[in-house]
């Protein structure tokens, strides 16, 4: 027990003490994103179950993005008590109930809720808290029914960039496609093909769309896909700011959400020249911008706004990015 406590203290507590005292060496600097990750998980463990308990309904930000980050944290070895995610796991496992969720329909987009709850259900299966894959196929059918005739999910189409809690068309389409492919429901094959075609033809008109298209093409092996990846990566290289993060456009100040999506898109390209350094700087940016309570400031459009939903979703995305970009042993 003594050895375990000392190991924890050395990993998480000692770097914090050194930082507070001003004695921060290279090792402590490298540990700062790990400390930020652990603090974010603690924050989400408090906040994710609080929404349904206090409001009597389920939210896309808490039980979608926030819960998805906690499921991912469990897969990375964090101890998350089952009770923290019990309500979320039960809710996302019943797709037929999603449209009957309580709350103000004026502030809800059922198409977006379907995408976010389905992504949370997939994460619950990956973490082992859900075991029956039949609900995932039902969720995939529900998500697929919302597809536009051109193959995309047009969520908040007037906002070209999208935001943490509303995604926007490009990110929503990628997230919907990811669920559909993992669900592997036979009746969604045409839906998948149309979504893949839309993403292949989409052009990056901002940093988030470039990062999303990079994610979508990461495992595509044909020559055109490789050329497109170079195009997306070039946009991302140019857009990294002096403080290490990314904003919605190349000339925009960095924001936690945009930085998180970019970091996620770079996870499978670490062998490319300069990508590891880009990731290191992006991780440092996130650790620098974290709030004292373990959350991140809400990334809003326009920037500088205040939104609980955007803050929880921003924190979920940032946590996912830190978990996914941990340094290799």
In a domain, 74, yes or no: yes
pLDDT tens, 298-325? 999 999 999 999 999 999 999 999 999 9
pLDDT tens, 82-91? 999 999 999 9
What DSSP string runs through 238-286?
HH--TTS-B-SSTTSPPBHHHHHHHHHHHGGGTTSTTHHHHHHHHHHHH
Q: Structural domain tally of the chain? A: 1
pTM of the model: 0.90
Residue 328 per-residue DSSP state: P
In a domain, 7, yes or no: no
pLDDT tens, 175-227? 999 999 999 989 999 999 999 999 999 999 999 999 999 999 987 777 778 88
The CATH number for 306's domain is: 1.50.10.20
CA 33 → CA 54, 72, 121, 282, 312, distances in Å? 31, 16, 27, 10, 18
Predicted confidence band of residue 157 (pLDDT cuts 50, 70, 90): confident
CB burial class (10 A; 0-12, 13-18, 19+) of residue 277? exposed
- Name beta bridge partners: 246: 255
Helices (H), the chain: 2-8, 14-21, 26-55, 67-75, 82-92, 110-127, 134-144, 169-183, 189-201, 207-217, 223-239, 256-266, 275-289, 308-324
In a domain, 182, yes or no: yes
In a domain, 293, yes or no: yes
Range of the domain at 185: 35-324
In a domain, 219, yes or no: yes
CB burial class (10 A; 0-12, 13-18, 19+) of residue 323? buried
Interatomic CA distance for residues 293 and 120, integer angstroms? 24
In a domain, 115, yes or no: yes
């Amino acid at each position: 027990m003594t050895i375990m406590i000392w190991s924890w203290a050395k990993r998480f507590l000692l770097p914090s003490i050194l930082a507070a005292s001003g004695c921060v060496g290279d090792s402590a600097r490298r540990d700062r994103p790990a400390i930020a990750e652990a603090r974010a998980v603690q924050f989400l463990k408090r906040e994710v179950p609080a929404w349904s308990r206090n409001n009597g309904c389920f939210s896309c930000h808490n039980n979608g993005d926030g819960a998805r980050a906690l499921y991912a944290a469990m897969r990375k070895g964090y101890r998350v008590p089952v009770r923290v995610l019990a309500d979320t796991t039960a809710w996302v496992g019943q797709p037929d109930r999603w449209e009957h969720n309580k709350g103000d329909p004026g502030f809800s987009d059922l198409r977006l809720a379907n995408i976010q709850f389905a992504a949370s259900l997939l994460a619950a299966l990956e973490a082992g808290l859900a075991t029956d894959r039949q609900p995932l196929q039902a969720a995939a059918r529900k998500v697929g029914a919302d597809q536009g005739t051109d193959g995309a999910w047009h969520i908040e189409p007037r906002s070209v960039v999208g935001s943490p809690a509303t995604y926007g068309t490009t990110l929503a389409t990628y997230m919907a496609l990811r669920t559909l492919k993992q669900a592997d429901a036979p009746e969604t094959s045409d839906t998948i093909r149309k979504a893949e075609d839309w993403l292949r033809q989409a052009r990056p008109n901002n940093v988030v769309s470039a990062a999303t298209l990079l994610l979508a093409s990461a495992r595509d092996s044909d020559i055109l896909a490789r050329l497109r990846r170079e195009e997306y990566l070039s946009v991302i290289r140019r857009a990294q700011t002096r403080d290490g993060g990314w904003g919605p456009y190349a000339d925009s100040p960095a924001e936690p959400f945009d930085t998180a999506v970019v970091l996620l898109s770079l996870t499978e390209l670490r062998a490319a020249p300069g990508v590891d350094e880009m990731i290191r700087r992006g991780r440092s940016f996130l650790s620098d911008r974290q709030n004292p309570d373990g959350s991140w400031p809400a990334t809003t459009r326009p920037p500088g706004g205040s939104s609980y939903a955007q803050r929880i979703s921003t924190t979920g995305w940032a946590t996912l990015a830190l978990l996914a970009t941990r340094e290799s042993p």
